[in-house]
Amino acid sequence: MPGLPNGLNRYAHICGWGTAVPDTILTNSELSRMVDTDDEWIVARTGIKQRYIANGKETTASLGVEAAKAALDTADISPNDLDLIIVATSTPEHNFPSTASLIQDELGASKAGAFDMGAACTGFVYALSVAGQIIQSGAINTVLVIGSETLSKIVNWEDRSTCVLFGDGAGAFVLQGSEVPGGILTSVLRSDGSGGDLLKVPAGGSALPASYDTLRDNLHTITMNGREVFRFATRVMADACREVVSAAGMTMDDIDFIVPHQANARIIEAAARNLNLPLDMFIMNMDRYGNTSAASIPLALCEAVADNRIKPHNNLVFVAFGGGLTWGATLVTWGVSKSTSPHQVWHKLRRQALYRVARIRSAVRRSTRMIEGALWGGEEMDDN
């Protein structure tokens, strides 16, 4: 196996993985009772048959926490071992605090830094690349990367050209440093902001703050020029795959599977033709999930791992594109088989206890802050 192009000899392995989806499924035929569409059109044009939709209580953070707990179980590590949490999302819990900080609190990951990564549907690839490089530098050892989305909350449910595409869900990886070659090898990250208008949520930021007018004009929901995004996606997917493979000193013959962003089956078919690769090398599950943006790659990868398609030492290319415009790819050698420690059950029980302690600790901190604020807050301000 070739070493890292950066000359470092520390590797970042994916040693834990997990997913979460909402309870509710929305099928194409149910959608056809909401807008002027039908199952035949949606399947033929996108490959999507159904998607998961979050209820009022399911949020980007709650799905992210569920996926993170599953990933910590697979890695069999404690939340206290985490050095950093990165959440890739376009549907954060709030503008701030970051969704990553809320997840850090819920997990009780008391030694972890936390931030959100905003690169739309390419967010998970960006986050994976950043996490891999921080670990390879030796700065920190254990990173939780989450892709979590509740796109149903920013979809215009009257716009048939977008509302049929998106779904909700989350996926998470635990990355750890090791001297053993493998894991994240190379990445390609790109952006072309001149295409920013092609896919965006127009209002709610500093350019167009929320107002009565923005609400009336439905500017807090996704708008997209589907044809242009389609053309861009088919062009960049194949290029990014070639570039990331060549950066690792490999050829496409060395690659076992491509795990693409699950936006549209036709985009993936076009990339397969362009790369001259058989379609069964591409992991696809958008038929059951729709486009879950930053969550789509971990959701697809975890399914392929669960059904034993992906084996240790397989070379995988994660490739994505999306709003920004952004696109990117990461090449990974899948190096770990699932841990079979006899203590795993006890470790899981311990983690569950730690999550309960984390909740209590968080509630105590909030209450203490309130009491301190009531007793001394005014005094300190007066002193200043």
Known catalytic residues are 121, 261, 291
User: CA–CA distance from 345 to each of 98, 340, 349, 355 (Å)?
Assistant: 32, 10, 6, 16
Shorter beta-carbon distance to ligand UT7: residue 325 or 331: 325
Among 107, 229, 259, 310, binds ligand UT7 (CB under 6 A): 229
Is 41 a binding residue for ligand UT7 by CB under 6 A? The answer is yes
Q: Min. distance of Cβ 159 from ligand UT7 in angstroms?
A: 9
Q: Min. distance of Cβ 149 from ligand UT7 in angstroms?
A: 10
Shorter beta-carbon distance to ligand UT7: residue 98 or 264: 264
Which region, judged by CB under 6 A, interacts with ligand UT7, from 146-154, 227-235, 240-248, 334-342? 227-235
Shorter beta-carbon distance to ligand UT7: residue 91 or 291: 291
Q: Are 283 and 299 in contact (CB under 8 A)?
A: no
Is 37 a binding residue for ligand UT7 by CB under 6 A? The answer is yes
- As a whole number of Å, the CA-based R_g of the chain is 21
Is 121 a binding residue for ligand UT7 by CB under 6 A? The answer is yes
Q: Are 92 and 151 in contact (CB under 8 A)?
A: no
Enter the tokens of residue 54: 């979050």
- Beta-sheet strands, E only, within the chain: 11-20, 24-27, 50-53, 84-88, 113-117, 142-150, 168-178, 183-191, 199-200, 223-224, 257-260, 315-322, 326-333
Shorter beta-carbon distance to ligand UT7: residue 80 or 161: 161
Which region, judged by CB under 6 A, interacts with ligand UT7, from 16-24, 36-44, 351-359, 368-376? 36-44
Q: Min. distance of Cβ 329 from ligand UT7 in angstroms?
A: 15
* Residue list 189-208, contact with ligand UT7 (CB under 6 A): 199
What is the pattern of x (binds ligand UT7, CB under 6 A) and - over residues 298-337? ------------------------x---------------
d(CA 47, CA 323): 21
Strand ordering across the sheet containing 11-20: 11-20, 168-178, 142-150, 84-88, 113-117
Shorter beta-carbon distance to ligand UT7: residue 121 or 316: 121
Quote the longest CA-to-CA distance of the chain. Answer: 72
Q: Are 4 and 11 in contact (CB under 8 A)?
A: yes
Shorter beta-carbon distance to ligand UT7: residue 87 or 263: 263
Q: Min. distance of Cβ 235 from ligand UT7 in angstroms?
A: 12
Closest CA to 164 of 28, 63, 341, 71: 28
Is 46 a binding residue for ligand UT7 by CB under 6 A? The answer is yes
Q: Min. distance of Cβ 286 from ligand UT7 in angstroms?
A: 10
Q: Min. distance of Cβ 67 from ligand UT7 in angstroms?
A: 19
Q: Are 67 and 18 in contact (CB under 8 A)?
A: yes
Task: State residue 175 phi and psi, 5-degree precision.
Answer: -110, 135
What is the pattern of x (binds ligand UT7, CB under 6 A) and - over residues 279-298? ------------x-------
Is 45 a binding residue for ligand UT7 by CB under 6 A? The answer is yes
Cβ burial 182-198 (10 Å sphere, 16+ → b, else e): bbbbbbbbbeeeebeeb
- Name the packing angle between helices 60-75 and 99-107 (round to 10°): 50
What is the pattern of x (binds ligand UT7, CB under 6 A) and - over residues 151-170? ---------xx--x------
Distance spanning both ends of the chain, measured CA to CA: 61
Q: What does the binding site for ligand UT7 look like in residue numbers (CB under 6 A)?
A: 37, 41-42, 45-46, 121, 160-161, 164, 199, 224, 226-227, 229-230, 233, 263-264, 291, 322
